[in-house]
Structure 1
Amino acid sequence: MKLIILLSLAATGLAVRTPSISWITKEQVVDIGSSMQLECSVQYAQDYPVLWVKRGTGGVQDLPISTGPGLIIRDSRYSLRHDKGSSTYILQIKDIQESDGGEYMCQVLIGINNRITANVDLLVRRPPVISDNSTRSVVASEGDSVELSCYAGGMPIPDISWRRENNAILPTGGSIYRGNVLQIANIRKEDRGTYYCIAENQVGRGARRNINVEVEFAPMVKAIRPRVYQALQYNMDLECHVEAYPPAAITWFHKQEGIVNNQHYRVSQFATADEYTDTTLRVLSIEKRQFGNYSCTATNKLGQSSAIVTLIETTTPVCPPACGTLTYSAAYTPTPSVLTLLALFAAILLRN
């Protein structure tokens, strides 16, 4: 019986003296450039090496930092302090870099294949960076469903929101949408423009990506003045406004014949934006046969559209463009100097 008691006491004594880790720092979240320390308290480990090790990731081996009271790593940003009274190993790191983030292990090495380990995560705050797999631009046809995606790295994980240029209303409603994916069902030409993906996590100023959304649609043609008037032998401008994407090929027709630049006509076009084009047909020294209907026709891969401008004969020249004569249409208002000359001429006639 005495032998059993002695063996039991011996076993109890051995169990009590087995090395252990009694405490380790909780997860740390720090800013780049700051300093921090990790603490690990051990018991009954006087005869065993105590190590700080950074766990390797992505195929990278574990990185030993210290053993006992001494550093292994050659980096002046690291220091180690051993508090013998509490048997605590304090690892200090200054000027924290993004690469310092990761899992740190406090280990008591009992044997080659036997060690006691406790872990602590070091999280380094990082400003948002929008990922390359985010949408950069989109070209869609009217009626398509469109998906804009935006992802960002950073610590903490960034929040993603969407806006439009000039805070225009989003197709989903409202001026802001939160989430990684903005879905636009049955996209319309009014939905085209610049969309902003904004990533924020309260670290730094955040990140933004401009996403250009182009919507292809069939041409729409509008006659600036559907009916214009001019006298024989004077010039007149016929104008149309075209909205289309891709930009449309524009042709003027008269009596079903396409018009090109020659001694009778001058055609000009001015693109005010990718989707907008203004076109002018100048009819030169109008002849009798040139009066009638003119068709401004715009065509792209999605369709065709036309507008009719009617050139009507009048006996009075219209200014502009037929300026430089004393006789104009009713739309012309004589200047005071012309009125004065007319009054003087009338007075001379009365005297005679």
Structure 2
Amino acid sequence: MCQVNTDPMKSRQGYVQVVVPPSIITKETSTDMVVREASNVTLTCKATGYPEPYVMWRREDGKNINYNGESVNVVDGEVLHIVKISRLHMGAYLCIASNGVPPSVSKRVSLRVQFPPMLSIPNQLEGAYIGQDVTLECHTEAYPNSINYWTTERGDMIVSGNSVSGEKYEAISTDSGYNKYMMLKIRNVSLKDFGSYKCVAQNSLGGTDGVIKLDEIPAPSTTSTTQSPYHATSPHKNGRNSNKKSRQRPFDYEVEEWRNPDYGRDYGPASMRPPGEVPDVQSPGVSHRAQFVLHLSLSLLSLLLPAIRR
């Protein structure tokens, strides 16, 4: 208050408001948690500041939160209560406090959900022929991370490179969070390689396995399926060209060459027809000159027949 001692006294009052940026109270805020799947989980976050901070929860990776049956991006309030938590809730959560006075603050809480191994097999039956390389696949989920391996039908554990000459097997495992992708490559498959293979996953909460059967299939044929083309010869056995091979054509057509048996001269191009059919003298493959000679011969024969009879 500013005061002037006059008669009457004069004064003026002023008000000072002190703002305080938010601050998270560590002792009253949840820390990293590891819980069993299907249990209930409560995360708490406390903050101070002036004005009173606004507190909210969200996932660090930006994904939505399955909260009370709804998929939401942000949960308002100091308490995040999840009923029947699942592996889908696993991840890092951020508690964010703000009150309009910069800077805003946040606290990271890691939430881990434990569950026994589970697996899925894309193809339970695989086929391969002798000499082929084949790959078997298996997908598993587990937390804590599981120990994964392959076994044969007899129960022997498969180790990469356990072959006398070179590496017979190659086992590969790729992790992505609580997911694990298993792959077993079998090189140069032989008769003894056919049978059942088992992918196994185990952690401190339990274990599981799945069976993949490898069957033999016929090897692809390496011989050519194309038939040899026909080698058609002249239909006139007594002609000069009776031993001459004709030009080759595809197997579904037969080639005949029409020739004069007396002079060995060609009359027009070779005709092409399906095998087994009788050639038609009127077909386009026979030249007009050959047709003329044929008709002339028939006419002369009809004139000579009466004289022969007499």
What is the aligned length?
Answer: 219
By percentage of residues, which structure has more strand? 1
| CA distance in structure 2 between the aligned counterparts of 1:144 and 1:87, rounded to whole angstroms | 68
Choose from 198, 206, 230 the match for 1:303.
Answer: 206
| Secondary structure at the counterpart of residue 312 of structure 1 | strand
- The match for 2:24 is 130
Could you tell me whether the CA contact under 8 Å between 1:145 and 1:187 is conserved in 2? yes
- The match for 1:258 is 157
- The match for 2:303 is none
Alignment deviations for residues 176-235 of structure 1 (CA, whole Å, 9 cap, x no partner) = 333222122332112212323222223235333332211111111111221111111221
In the alignment, structure 1 residue 247 sits paired with structure 2 residue 145: yes
Could you tell me whether the CA contact under 8 Å between 2:20 and 2:50 is conserved in 1? yes
| CA distance in structure 1 between the aligned counterparts of 2:97 and 2:219, rounded to whole angstroms | 65
| CA distance in structure 2 between the aligned counterparts of 1:123 and 1:254, rounded to whole angstroms | 76
Taking structure 2 as the reference length, the TM-score comes to: 0.63
Q: Which residues of 2 match residues 71-90 of structure 1 at below 5 A?
A: 83-85=4-6, 86=9, 88=11
- The match for 1:236 is 134
- The match for 1:146 is 41
| CA distance in structure 2 between the aligned counterparts of 1:199 and 1:247, rounded to whole angstroms | 34
| CA distance in structure 1 between the aligned counterparts of 2:89 and 2:58, rounded to whole angstroms | 12
**Identity over aligned residues, as a percent?**
27
- The match for 1:55 is none
**RMSD of aligned C-alpha atoms?**
2.7
| Secondary structure at the counterpart of residue 289 of structure 1 | helix
Change (3 A) 1:269 1:308: same
- The match for 2:183 is 280
Could you tell me whether the CA contact under 8 Å between 1:171 and 1:191 is conserved in 2? no
| CA distance in structure 2 between the aligned counterparts of 1:180 and 1:284, rounded to whole angstroms | 58
- The match for 1:270 is 174
| Secondary structure at the counterpart of residue 192 of structure 2 | helix
| CA distance in structure 2 between the aligned counterparts of 1:347 and 1:229, rounded to whole angstroms | 31
Q: Which runs of 5+ in 1 are unaligned?
A: 1-38, 40-80, 92-119, 318-325, 328-341
Q: Which residues of 2 match residues 1-352 of structure 1 at below 5 A?
A: 39=1, 83-85=4-6, 86=9, 88=11, 123-133=17-27, 134-164=29-59, 165-174=61-70, 175=72, 176-204=74-102, 206-255=104-153, 256-261=155-160, 262-263=162-163, 264-271=168-175, 273-316=176-219, 346=226, 349=229, 351=248
Could you tell me whether the CA contact under 8 Å between 2:118 and 2:208 is conserved in 1? yes
| CA distance in structure 1 between the aligned counterparts of 2:151 and 2:215, rounded to whole angstroms | 16
| CA distance in structure 2 between the aligned counterparts of 1:214 and 1:265, rounded to whole angstroms | 35
The one-letter amino acid paired with 1:161 is M
| CA distance in structure 2 between the aligned counterparts of 1:191 and 1:240, rounded to whole angstroms | 24
| Secondary structure at the counterpart of residue 161 of structure 1 | strand
Taking structure 1 as the reference length, the TM-score comes to: 0.56
Could you tell me whether the CA contact under 8 Å between 2:46 and 2:78 is conserved in 1? yes
| CA distance in structure 2 between the aligned counterparts of 1:349 and 1:193, rounded to whole angstroms | 70
| CA distance in structure 2 between the aligned counterparts of 1:274 and 1:240, rounded to whole angstroms | 16
Could you tell me whether the CA contact under 8 Å between 2:65 and 2:89 is conserved in 1? no
| CA distance in structure 2 between the aligned counterparts of 1:259 and 1:229, rounded to whole angstroms | 20
| CA distance in structure 2 between the aligned counterparts of 1:127 and 1:172, rounded to whole angstroms | 32
Could you tell me whether the CA contact under 8 Å between 1:245 and 1:274 is conserved in 2? no
Q: Which runs of 5+ in 2 are unaligned?
A: 231-247, 250-310
| CA distance in structure 2 between the aligned counterparts of 1:308 and 1:347, rounded to whole angstroms | 45
Change (3 A) 1:126 1:167: farther
